[in-house]
Structure 1
Amino acid sequence: MSIEIDHVNKHFRDFVAVDNVSLTFREGELTALLGPSGSGKTTLLRIVAGLEQPDTGRIRFHGEDTTDLHVSQRGVGFVFQHYALFKHMTVFQNVAYGLTVRPRRNRPSKAEITRKVMELLSLVQLDWTAHRYPHQLSGGQRQRIALARALAVEPKVLLLDEPFGALDAKVRAELRRWLRRLHDEIHVTSIFVTHDQEEALEVSDRVVVMNQGRVEQDSSPEEVYDHPANPFVYRFLGNVNLFHARVHDGVARIGDVALPAPEFEGYQNEQGQAYVRPHEIEVFADRNHQGALRAKVELVSVVGPTVRLELRTDNSEDLVHAELPKHRFRALGLTQGGNAWIRPIHSRVFLPDSRVANG
């Protein structure tokens, strides 16, 4: 089931929640709507579901206009952050609920409902919980039951709103891998709202980055991470360093470091900003490296096999963050409060009018 969002707008008093958004979600694809709080991603999801009405614009499911259809007529399954399971019902009864409340003429037989529910519980690997109650399950188990309940009505579209937001980091990581495997089995068109960059990049086939009600970028996870469309996307997708750069004839200079910027061939002496991720910075213990920038080591943090450095340099107003393997850090013999030399090995350069180049 493909979904088309056609020039949709939604305002709440003086707040623009969705600002002229047009998107197409392809059949069988798992798409992440990614953005900070207030970016419009949940409002857009609720408009697709029929829980909110757009002020203007249309929603189409597989070419059919569903803008004015009630949520019960759209064939969507919805999974919320806080499970929304019925506490007084067993797991089996929760999953069966959507089938048992259908009008009699459309309601499956009891035997068919039992077969369907047990198949779904097996699919989410929780068939052994059928006669338990929600309070007897862990948070991760409850969320998998909520997903099974959403799938029980055989939705054309599955909508997930921060489904793992209430869980701890370890359970979140386990469940997003599980969700990816599940989607590869069922292939239902799915839209997944999250503010967690790692979650979006790991789970989805495609990422739509939103900010202030608008779409900033719509690409594959790899494309969004490797080639951010603008400074907002770069900053939002993880830690990033910002250096002052001078762009001239296809070269971006950060101090004595020259990085290729072929898209700016012919530009003369332009001021720009170079974005460099922490793992894209080489760190040295001495100055005998061409184009390296002198820096002072302000802080050393050891996180498992990785060492994170905070460094101060004249080429950035903020502290520079660098990451390197622990064995490399030990070999360098760097100390907190001492000097180091750093060299960006890749950058993304933006000019003030948002023109962009790779370095």
Structure 2
Amino acid sequence: MSIKIENLNKRFGDFVAVDNINLTLPDGQLTALLGPSGSGKTTLLRMIAGLEQPDSGRISFYGEDATDLHVSHRGVGFVFQHYALFKHMTVFENVAYGLTVRPRRLRPDKAAIRKKVMSLLELVQLDWTADRYPSQLSGGQRQRIALARALAVEPKVLLLDEPFGALDAKVRAELRRWLRRLHDEIHVTSVFVTHDQEEALEVSDRVVVMNQGRVEQEGSPEEVYDHPANPFVYQFLGNVNLFHARVGQGAATIGGLRLPVPELKEVENETGLAYVRPHEIEVLAGPAPDALHAVLESLTVVGPTVRLELRADDAKGLIQAELPKTHFRTLGLLQGDDAWLRPLRSKVFLDQHSA
């Protein structure tokens, strides 16, 4: 294991930014720190980098205590949201910078630096920009150069703080696919901060979901999406519908619908909350004994998908459902029509507020 974080705490005045975090970040993997603004993810990243000092706790790199180690001795590469390239230097000079400022005894000769920089520029597919200046590049290109510069010093750990946050959606989507392919080539241990759920799920090997300075859940992207540990994770990772239910004898009852919840079989007649994702709701055009009645309020066609908003009893607000356009056409539903909803997959939590 490459990075171990033990009982880490950080406050800014009365604000608790990081609250007793314990984490192990695996060697060679790309870990996403995911959470809303103010969840502590960037503060945690900056403490790993050595840019912030924890109030208490310990950070180890490959078994060695790095808690009090200066940022220059940690062997980390850092990529910020806003490129942070030197405007007066060429692309080549920017990427070479970390090597040229090394102490003389550790500095490679000019030929070695040139070979290293050009190989990195080829790796990020921008070798043709070596003699250009940052102002002559697009935002996506500048960010790839920033990544090449971070990799030039051969970091033990690569840290990325919302690296694509300043880019438009199309460029961001292209870059995150590119980053995933690049990581598969170089396998440097990487930690990636983002508030974008799709980005975290698409790019990372491991996702750490944070909220109010604490870790809510960690696991593979598939684990945290398919098996959220609590309501916060469920609601943060994509759209979700919320139904009020009564829980008892291993089932949750929503109107005339019963959902099996064997994990809550000890519970007797308590209030529960059932979470169902829009694409995990079956929409029917006719009554069914195991489905909820609803009225179709609106529909939006997005490429091959139709997004429906329906009003149902025992639901909090409008219910969202997504289904393929071809399937929706076979239902023959129009705005204002009756429909019936059947959850294909759900997760039920006890309602802590009613306890």
TM-score by length of 2: 0.98
TM-aligned CA deviation for residue 342 of structure 1:
1.0
Structure 2 counterpart of 1:203: 203
Distance 2:143 2:266 in 1: 55
Structure 1 counterpart of 2:338: 339
Structure 1 counterpart of 2:183: 183
Amino acid at match of 2:266: G
Structure 1 contact 124–144 (Cα < 8 Å) conserved: yes
Distance 1:266 1:202 in 2: 37
TM-aligned CA deviation for residue 317 of structure 1:
2.5
Give matches, 1:58-73, under 5 Å: 58-73=58-73
Structure 2 counterpart of 1:244: 244
Amino acid at match of 1:350: F
Structure 2 counterpart of 1:324: 323
TM-score by length of 1: 0.97
Task: Decide which moves more: 257-266 or 197-206.
Answer: 257-266
TM-aligned CA deviation for residue 338 of structure 1:
2.1
Structure 2 unaligned blocks of 5 or more? none
SS at match of 1:340: strand
Distance 2:328 2:336 in 1: 15
Amino acid at match of 1:14: D
Structure 1 counterpart of 2:43: 43
Structure 1 contact 256–291 (Cα < 8 Å) conserved: yes
Amino acid at match of 1:254: I
TM-aligned CA deviation for residue 330 of structure 1:
1.2
Task: Decide which moves more: 100-109 or 36-45.
Answer: 100-109
TM-aligned CA deviation for residue 285 of structure 1:
1.2
Matched length: 353
Alignment of 1:262 with 2:267, yes or no, is no
Structure 2 counterpart of 1:17: 17
Amino acid at match of 2:32: A
Structure 2 counterpart of 1:34: 34
Structure 2 counterpart of 1:56: 56
Structure 1 counterpart of 2:8: 8
Q: Judging changes above 3 Å, is the alpha-carbon distance between structure 1 residues 317 and 352 closer, same or farther for their aligned structure 2 residues?
A: closer
Deviant stretches of 4+, over 2 Å: none
Amino acid at match of 1:349: V
Amino acid at match of 2:293: R
Structure 1 unaligned blocks of 5 or more? 355-359
Distance 1:267 1:214 in 2: 28
Structure 1 counterpart of 2:282: 282
Structure 1 counterpart of 2:311: 312
Alignment of 1:162 with 2:153, yes or no, is no
Alignment of 1:95 with 2:95, yes or no, is yes
Distance 2:338 2:119 in 1: 62
Structure 2 counterpart of 1:174: 174
Structure 1 counterpart of 2:273: 273
Structure 2 counterpart of 1:348: 347
Distance 1:91 1:99 in 2: 14
Structure 1 contact 91–131 (Cα < 8 Å) conserved: yes
Structure 1 contact 257–344 (Cα < 8 Å) conserved: no
SS at match of 1:247: strand
Structure 1 contact 246–271 (Cα < 8 Å) conserved: yes
Structure 2 counterpart of 1:357: none
TM-aligned CA deviation for residue 266 of structure 1:
3.3
Structure 1 counterpart of 2:301: 302
Distance 1:110 1:294 in 2: 73
TM-aligned CA deviation for residue 265 of structure 1:
1.6
Alignment of 1:193 with 2:193, yes or no, is yes
SS at match of 1:67: coil
Task: Decide which moves more: 59-68 or 33-42.
Answer: 59-68
Amino acid at match of 2:251: V
Distance 2:211 2:135 in 1: 37
Structure 1 contact 121–145 (Cα < 8 Å) conserved: yes
